[in-house]
Amino acid sequence: MELSSADGIIVVDIQRDFCPGGALPVPEGDDIVPLVNELLHKAEKSGCFIVYTRDWHPQNHMSFKTFGGTWPEHCVQWTAGAEFHPSLYLSDKGVIISKGTNPEFEAYSGFQGTDLDATLKANGVHRLFIVGLATDYCVKETALDSLQRGYDTYVVKDAVRGVNVHPNDSENALNEMEQNGAKIIFSKELLY
């Protein structure tokens, strides 16, 4: 597959808190970073539009257990845990989209409560490739919202990792994305 300026790559939430040692680690979440970096270099050379999403929660976010939510406190604005993984390649051509900034609303999708859709449309993006963390939450919701907004949506299976609160959550998420129209591919289809 050839990438072009009509394509976008969304790097979902590769942040310290979602990697081993973080507050809400995805098992082996950091293992995908070298592969994601390869994809980003290829995307950059191809003129592909690059987006990095990040959880950017206020201290009192409703998703935190302290406030009746499901998750431990994670990716709090301006903390080390909210930073991108130190090995992640950050392109100077990339755009950062912060989500989950409203303390009263959950926001797994990069499209929810952000200007991501408008930004992609303004840059002529029609096809999206999604990588990152976590397959069964933010990757899945971003992909489903992408499909709902009419983008030709691809999820790069070997460049995502899941939380797997229940054993088959990631596989079920990939199946759900595919059933809704996403194409599940491997990185080699983009890199070679």
Mean pLDDT, residues 172-179: 98
Closest by Cα among 190, 154, 148, 192 to 174: 154
Known catalytic residues? Answer: 13, 99, 138
d(CA 164, CA 102): 26
Rounded to whole angstroms, what are the CA distances from 120 to 23, 36, 88, 184, 185?
Answer: 31, 20, 22, 21, 21
The pLDDT value given to residue 44? 96
Mean pLDDT, residues 144-148: 98
Closest by Cα among 172, 171, 109, 176 to 146: 109
Paired sense of beta strands 152-161 and 7-12, if any: unpaired
pLDDT band at 41 (very low <50, low <70, confident <90, very high): very high
d(CA 114, CA 120): 12
pLDDT at residue 173 greater than cutoff 90: yes
The pLDDT value given to residue 192? 86
Mean pLDDT, residues 93-112: 96
Q: In the chain, what are the domains?
A: 7-191 (3.40.50.850)
pLDDT band at 50 (very low <50, low <70, confident <90, very high): very high
The pLDDT value given to residue 25? 96
Does the global pTM surpass 0.85? yes
